[in-house]
């Protein structure tokens, strides 16, 4: 029984590792994720940094700096202990440690090891960001935090890659991910397949809807994210170079500040990659259905309970229910984004509220979500529905300018228009229509 459980667990691990499409990638692209390894090297100030992926038998090194010869077997890899511990692992003396003294890395005079697990969205550790040095090393809290953030971004990028490959293979089972090494390429392939399918086959309308949402909108969103992600990466590279110069000059105080700036930029990338994963999850395997708007708002109120309480905002819900026809997950994202904005940008000098109202029409229901928050200027209202654009008076509140753009995409997909009215110091009203039934 124990042997059967072990074999099943190993088979599940191997299947998960294979789903990332990394075996093909290793043969085609030797620099995949190299920017993050270079960043890890600058952060750790250690000569050897690499990404190790381990299945039940083997080790696969995606990208590496400082070393080119790695063990092929899992049992010979020092990174296996990070996977086993499922938490950051530091070994100060590889040669004397009971678990690592026999490994080749110890014989090669490596002394110090630090490993940060790559834990995927299912909670499974599939690899590690590994750091080694021939001399004793002591990473401070800022360096440890930075390396942990880098490992989080790496696994989120790999999970986004895995999700896009899954969506592509639902259309083309013969797709080989070797030719696509980044999100731009994968999302472009997804869009190409969508057009090919729509132009060559007369599928059922529900299938067309699924393809249109899971491919076209996802492609647009991935392109916008991939474009904006370059800004924090540029900041990371800039401050990394300043750190290198600072080491020559021994300006340790400046280096500490630069690490804080790097941490901030890494966190920005981390949040943006999260958005890719959330949208990819929302748009896979969904079908239009009857949805109760009142139930939807009740669920959102629970999700946003802490925000409502912390900012003392009252959510005023409609007294009647209405059933609409659409994708429940997308409608939830639509209402949640708008209500969340009303809470986020509430005026703390007022009895703040967010109010949702309905107006039944012949074939649609007209929705208005209004608040009495800080409002948006006439100048800014022209641009806030564009991707990554925010109102000038919203800069002190965390955000990327993605929420309203996502809402606009969802409403446009229903063949409707998202409208925005606002006045500084008075509040904002967002209005749109949802079909009452299948068109």
* Distance in angstroms (rounded) separating the CA atoms of residues 185 and 122: 25
Domain that holds residue 222: 161-282
- What integer best gives the mean pLDDT of the chain? 77
* Distance in angstroms (rounded) separating the CA atoms of residues 331 and 338: 11
Residue 234, pLDDT > 80, answer: no
Residue 230, pLDDT > 50, answer: yes
> Which domain-ending residue is among 259, 282, 305?
282
Contact 154, 129 (CB under 8 A): yes
Residues 130 and 12 in one domain: yes
Predicted pLDDT at 357: 94
Closest among 167, 89, 155, 93 to 127, alpha carbons compared: 155
% the chain with pLDDT above 70 = 66
- Region 271-277: mean pLDDT is 61
Residues 198 and 266 in one domain: yes
Predicted pLDDT at 32: 78
Residues 19 and 101 in one domain: yes
Q: Is residue 97 part of a domain?
A: yes
Q: Is residue 156 part of a domain?
A: no
- CATH code at 103? 3.30.450.40
Q: Is residue 150 part of a domain?
A: no
Please count the structural domains in the chain.
3
Q: Is residue 154 part of a domain?
A: no
Q: What is the pLDDT of residues 304-319, one digit of tens each?
A: 887 888 899 999 999 8
Residue 401, pLDDT > 50, answer: no
Q: What is the pLDDT of residues 34-68, one digit of tens each?
A: 889 999 999 999 999 999 999 988 888 888 888 88
Residues 431 and 381 in one domain: yes
Question: In sequence order, what are the residues at sequence separation of 6 or more whose Cβ sits closer than 8 angstroms to the Cβ of residue 119?
Answer: 86, 125, 126, 155
- Region 221-250: mean pLDDT is 62
Q: What is the pLDDT of residues 326-371, one digit of tens each?
A: 888 788 888 988 998 899 889 889 899 999 999 999 889 999 999 9
- Region 174-183: mean pLDDT is 62
- Region 242-264: mean pLDDT is 62
Residues 166 and 235 in one domain: yes
Q: What is the pLDDT of residues 7-29, one digit of tens each?
A: 456 778 888 988 887 765 554 55
Residues 232 and 335 in one domain: no
> Which domain-ending residue is among 222, 254, 282?
282
- CATH code at 369? 3.30.565.10
Contact 142, 148 (CB under 8 A): no
Residues 78 and 129 in one domain: yes
Residues 276 and 294 in one domain: no
Residues 89 and 23 in one domain: yes
Residues 132 and 8 in one domain: yes
Burial of 223 (0-12, 13-18, 19+ CB in 10 A): middle
Q: For residues 265 and 41, which has the higher predicted lDDT (pLDDT)?
A: 41
Q: Is residue 38 part of a domain?
A: yes
Residues 199 and 87 in one domain: no
Residues 225 and 181 in one domain: yes
Write phi, then psi, for 403 (nearest 5 degrees).
-55, -55
Q: Is residue 144 part of a domain?
A: no
């Amino acid at each position: 029984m124990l042997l059967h459980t072990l074999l099943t667990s190993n088979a599940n691990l191997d299947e998960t590792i294979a789903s990332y499409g990394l075996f093909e990638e290793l043969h085609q692209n030797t620099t995949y994720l190299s920017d993050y390894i270079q960043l890890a090297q600058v952060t750790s100030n250690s000569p050897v940094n690499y990404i190790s992926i381990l299945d039940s038998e083997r080790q696969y090194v995606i990208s590496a700096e400082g070393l080119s010869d790695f063990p092929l077997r899992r049992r010979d890899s020092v990174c296996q202990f990070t996977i086993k511990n499922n938490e950051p692992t530091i070994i100060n003396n590889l040669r004397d440690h009971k678990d690592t003294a026999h490994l080749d890395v110890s014989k090669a005079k490596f002394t110090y090891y630090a490993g940060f697990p790559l834990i995927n969205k299912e909670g499974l550790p599939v690899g590690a960001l590994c750091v080694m040095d021939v001399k004793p090393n002591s990473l401070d809290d800022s360096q440890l935090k930075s390396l942990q953030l880098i490992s989080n971004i790496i696994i989120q990028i790999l999970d986004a890659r895995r999700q896009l490959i899954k969506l592509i293979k639902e259309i083309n089972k013969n797709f080989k991910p070797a030719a696509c090494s980044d999100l731009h390429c994968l999302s472009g392939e997804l869009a190409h397949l969508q057009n090919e399918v729509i132009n060559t086959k007369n599928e059922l309308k529900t299938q067309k809807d699924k393809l249109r949402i899971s491919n076209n909108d996802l492609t647009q969103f991935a392109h916008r994210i991939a474009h904006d992600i370059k800004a924090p990466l540029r900041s990371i590279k800039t401050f990394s170079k300043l750190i290198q110069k600072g080491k020559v000059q021994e300006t340790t105080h400046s280096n500490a500040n630069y690490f804080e700036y790097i941490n901030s930029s890494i966190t920005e990338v981390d949040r943006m990659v999260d958005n890719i994963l959330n949208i990819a999850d929302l748009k896979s395997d969904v079908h239009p259905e009857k949805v109760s708007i009142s139930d939807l708002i009740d669920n959102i109120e629970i999700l946003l309970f802490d925000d409502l309480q912390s900012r003392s905002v009252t959510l005023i819900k409609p007294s009647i229910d209405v059933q609409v026809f659409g994708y429940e997950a997308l409608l939830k994202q639509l209402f949640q984004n708008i209500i969340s904005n009303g809470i986020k940008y509430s005026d703390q000098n007022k009895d703040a509220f967010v109010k949702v109202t309905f107006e039944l029409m012949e074939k649609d229901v007209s929705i208005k979500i209004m608040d009495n928050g800080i409002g948006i200027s006439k100048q800014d209202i022209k641009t806030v529905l564009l991707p990554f654009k925010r109102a000038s008076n919203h800069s002190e509140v965390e955000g990327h300018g993605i929420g309203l753009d996502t809402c606009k995409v969802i409403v446009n997909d229903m063949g409707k228009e998202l409208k925005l009215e606002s006045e500084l110091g008075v509040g904002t009203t967002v209005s749109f229509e949802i079909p009452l039934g299948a068109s």
